[in-house]
Amino acid sequence: MHEVFAPGRVELLGNHTDYNSGVVLSAALDLGTTARGFRRDGTSIKLRSVGFPEVIVDAVTPSQPTGEWSDYPVGVIAKFIEAGYAVGGFEVDFSATLPVGAGLSSSASIEVATAVLLCKLFDFKIAPIDLARICKRAENEFAGVNCGILDQVSCVFGRRQQAIFLDCRDESVRRIPFPEGVELLIVHSGVKHALTGGEYNERREQCFEAARILGVAALRDASTADLIHPGLSEIVRKRAAHITGENERVFAGVDALSRGDLKEFGALLTASHASSMNNFENSTPELDILVRIATGLPGIYGARLTGGGFGGAIIALVASEHIDNEMVNILERFQNETGIKTAAYHCRIGDGARPDA
C-alpha cells in the first residue's frame, strides 16, 4: 500500500497569463488530495472516491472521457500509457480536503496525486517538470480543459512558506520566500467555478486575437503601453490590458515579497481584482462583494479572485493575529448582504507532491 498527497494551489498573481506565455506567482496549499493504492494482478484498475460510484478501467483498452470526476485520474493513466509507461492493474482510494469548484485546482491536485502514485506503484522515474507536463496533457487532451501548466507545476513544485514564480514560456520555476506574519484566507463565493464553460475559451481566443493584431507571438511580448494600437477593438484591448497588467503585477509582486513589503503586495492583489472586474470580466457580483468586504477590514492587506474566475473563491492576505476575527467578519457580512452562507479556509503555504519525495 502506498499513500501520496498532492496539494491544491492558489494563484497569487498572474491571472490568465499562463496560456499567454506570461509569468505567474502561485503557491501550493496545505489542502489537497490523498491517494492510497496498491498493485493487483492483471490489467484492471479500480478508482474510488467517497460519495461516488467505483470506476473500473483497463490498462490495455483505451478509455474515453465520461464528464465525471474520474476523467482526471483516468486521463493521467491514459497519458502515462500513451507515453510508453507500463501501467498494470491497481486499486486506489481518493480523499480530499480541497473544496471542489473553488478555483483552487482540485483537478490538478487529483491528477498529480494519481501521477505520483503511479510512480510509486510501478517505480517510474520521471522528472518533476515532466510529471507536470503529463498531467497538463491529461487535462487538455482527455478532460478537455485548455489550461496552461500553472496548476500542475504549482502542485508539484510547491514548498512550505515559498511562493512559486513560473515563467510559462520556458517553463522555468523558482521559489520566492514568503514573509512570516501573514496567512492566506480563501473564501468561497458560493458560485461554483467551472473552466469547461465557454467563457474561458472565449477569453483565450480574444487574447490570441490581440497578439495577432499587435504582431507578437503572445501577449507576454506586449506591454500595456502597446495597447493603443488602432486595430484593437475595445473589448479585445480590455482583455489584453488584463494580461499585460497581470504580467507587470507579477514582477512587481516578486519585488515586493523580496522586500517584505506586505502593504505593496496586498495592493497588487486588489489591483488585480479590479482588472478582472473591469477588463477581463471574469469576476462575478459575489466575488466582487467578497473583495470589497475583505479590503475594508483592518487586518487584511489585499484580496482578489483566484483561479480562472467565473465563480469560485477569493484569496485575502491577512495579518496572522487577525485571521480568526476577519474570517468571521467576512462570512457574517457576506451572508448579511447576499443571503449566501458560505465557507472560508485558513490555508498555509505547503509542500508540493514529487515522485522523488
pLDDT digits (tens, 9 = 90+) for 165-216: 999 999 999 999 999 899 999 999 988 765 545 788 899 999 999 999 999 9
Task: Provide the pLDDT confidence category of residue 61 given band limits of 50, 70 and 90.
Answer: confident
How many angstroms separate the CA atoms of 113 and 115, rounded?
A: 6
Same domain for 157 and 242?
no
Domain boundary among 177, 210, 230: 177
Looking at the structure, tell me whether residues 173 and 138 fall in a common domain. Answer: yes
Same domain, 113 and 35: yes
Task: Verify that 121 and 219 share a domain, yes or no.
Answer: no
User: Which residue in the block uniquely carries the three cell numbers 496549499?
Assistant: 29
Find the mean pLDDT for residues 228-255.
Answer: 97
Residue at 355 is within a domain: no
pLDDT digits (tens, 9 = 90+) for 112-145: 999 999 999 999 999 999 999 999 999 999 988 8
- Residues taking part in catalysis: 151
231 inside domain:
yes
Residue ending a domain, among 147, 177, 207, is 177
Q: Are 209 and 164 in the same domain?
A: no
The pTM assigned to this predicted structure is 0.89
Q: Is 101 exposed, middle or buried (0-12, 13-18, 19+ CB in 10 A)?
A: middle
**In the structure, what pLDDT confidence band is assigned to residue 67 with cuts at 50, 70 and 90?**
confident
**Is residue 59 a part of any domain in this protein?**
yes
| Mean pLDDT within 45-64 | 89
The pLDDT of residue 352 is 92
| Residue finishing a domain among 153, 177, 201 | 177
**23 grid coordinates:** 509569468
Buried b (16+ CB within 10 A) or exposed e, 135-160: bbbbbbebbebebbbbbbbbbbbbbe
Cβ distance 345 to 185 under 8 Å?
Answer: yes
What's the CATH number where 89 sits?
3.30.230.10
Residues 133, 233, single domain; the answer is: no
Query: Does any domain span residue 357?
Result: no
User: Alpha-carbon distance 324 to 321, whole Å?
Assistant: 8
Instruction: For residues 10 and 151, state if they share a domain.
Output: yes
**228 lies in some domain:** yes
Mean pLDDT value across residues 46-51: 92
Residue 356: inside a domain, yes or no? no
The closest alpha carbon to 208, from 222, 191, 189, belongs to 222
* 241/98 same-domain check: no
Interval 29-40: pLDDT, tens: 999 999 999 999
Contact indicator for 216, 42 with CB cutoff of 8 Å:
no
- Domain span at 136: 2-177
Whether residues 126 and 232 fall in one domain = no
For residue 225, give every residue at least 6 positions away whose Cβ sits within 8 Å of its Cβ, in sequence order, or none: none
In percent, the amount of the chain with pLDDT more than 70 equals 97
Q: Based on the structure, what is the number of domains in the chain?
A: 2
Residue 354 placed within a domain: no
The reply to whether 212 falls in a domain is yes
Residues 123 and 22 in one domain: yes
Same domain for 243 and 123, yes or no, is no
Specify whether 72 is located in the same domain as 148.
Answer: yes
For residue 327, give the CATH number of its domain.
Answer: 3.30.70.890
Q: What is the pLDDT of residue 163?
A: 96
**Mean pLDDT estimate for the chain:** 93
